[in-house]
Structure 1
């Protein structure tokens, strides 16, 4: 089960999380944040194994564990 919260307003659409996710869980949505960037979302949440690579790759600390925002 996908247990990661995505803080959409921090996302700058760099795509590092999408590129490095080994399970290809993430993708860009059509939704935009207040800065105009397309935000990342869990396209295939059932694939997530909580490896944490998205946490490590994101320069803007977009990913947090549920309840840690």
Structure 2
């Protein structure tokens, strides 16, 4: 954590910067070029975990009965 922001493991790079980068249509490769302190494997693990959490959340919300 840096100033209250969640950072990528072992860096001062906020996780939000990665998602902003991707949302703006840029690639993981360009993010890594722009953030040399960030390890590629850590970014890939982070994205895989985010995917898993999102899919779990969507699955759980779709299984709830509609009132």
Q: TM-score, normalised by structure 2?
A: 0.30
Q: Looking at both structures, which has the greater relative contact order when contacts are Cα pairs under 8 Å and sequence separation is at least 6?
A: 1
TM-score (norm 1): 0.29
| Higher Rg of the two aligned structures | 2
- Whose helix fraction is larger, Structure 1's or Structure 2's? 2
Q: Indicate the structure with greater strand content.
A: 1
